[in-house]
Amino acid sequence: MKAMKIIIGIVIALAVVLAIAIFIGLKNLDSLVEMAIESVGADVTKTVVAVDQVNIELTEGRGEIQGIAVKNPAGYSSENAIHLGQILLQIEPASLADDVVVIKELTVDGATLTAEHKGLADINLQQIYDNITADSGKAPKESAPTTARPDIRFMLEKVSFTNMSLDLLSSEFGERQLAMEDIHLTNLGDRQTGLSAEELANVLLTPVVDAARKKVNNELRKEAKDKLQENLEENLSDDDKQKLDKLKSWLDK
Q: Give me the pLDDT at residue 97, please.
A: 83
Tell me, letter by letter, the H, E, C secondary structure of 138-189: CCCCCCCCCCCCCCCEEEEEEEEEECCEEEEEECCCEEEEEECCCEEEEEEC
Q: Which residue type sits at 218?
A: N
H or E segment to which residue 79 belongs: none
Q: Give me the pLDDT at residue 179, please.
A: 92
The values of phi and psi at residue 109, to 5°, are -115, 130
- pLDDT per residue as tens digits for the range 222-235: 877 776 666 665 66
Question: Model's pTM, two decimal places?
Answer: 0.76
The low-confidence residues of the chain, meaning pLDDT below 50, are 3-26, 143-144, 146-149, 247, 250-251, 253
Residue ranges of the domains in the chain? 2-251
Q: Give me the pLDDT at residue 246, please.
A: 52
- pLDDT per residue as tens digits for the range 154-197: 999 999 999 999 999 988 888 999 999 999 999 999 999 999 99
Q: Residue 192, SS3?
A: coil
Torsion sign, CA atoms 136, 142, 147, 152: positive
